[in-house]
Structure 1
Amino acid sequence: MAAAIPDRELQFSPLGGRVTQQGITVIVFIYRFADAPNDPWQLEVVDHDGGSTVWDETFTTDDDALAAFAQAVQENGIGAFAELEANRKH
């Protein structure tokens, strides 16, 4: 029987939050495990329907994660996040 793994608390970057452009709002989450301050940051964007886009790539800093989100918006527009299937990886 496998040992139970306790839930781990997440540390959220203050750089995340709601972003609205062209009438479309998404929530940007930049996080890592709170008990592992040297772990890389994860990036996730959630649309108005709860659909989630999670980057496969991790980031050394929360600034790098935010820059990746900004680049994706610049290249594809913010509407691309609302059009993606739930839990699709970026």
Structure 2
Amino acid sequence: MRVEIYKLEGESRWCLEVIDEYNNSTVWDDTFEIDSDALKEVQRIIRHDGISSLIGPEGDEEWI
């Protein structure tokens, strides 16, 4: 699993994206004023829902 916190070109707020071992991507709709807020959000999700909530299916299966 890879956590990416980045700014899009020309933007002032931080984006949050998690990419799992199967290359499935979870991108937050909301952006964050500071990068540490994005990190705290992904840590909160992992503590509350478990890391498996951010892992999609392997291969070409449709994730519902």
Q: TM-score, normalised by structure 2?
A: 0.81
Higher strand share: 1
Unaligned residue ranges in structure 2 (runs of 5+): 58-62
Deviation, structure 1 residue 83 = 3.4
CA root-mean-square deviation:
1.9
Map of 1:50 onto structure 2 = 23
How many residues are treated as equivalent by the alignment?
59
- Secondary structure at the aligned position of 2:47 is classed as helix
Unaligned residue ranges in structure 1 (runs of 5+): 1-25, 86-90
Q: TM-score, normalised by structure 1?
A: 0.59
Same amino acid, percent of matched pairs: 36
Higher helix share: 2
After the TM superposition, which segments of 4 or more aligned residues of structure 1 sit over 3 Å from their partners? none
User: How do 1:9-88 and structure 2 match up within 5 A?
Assistant: 26-33=1-8, 36=10, 39-83=12-56, 85=63
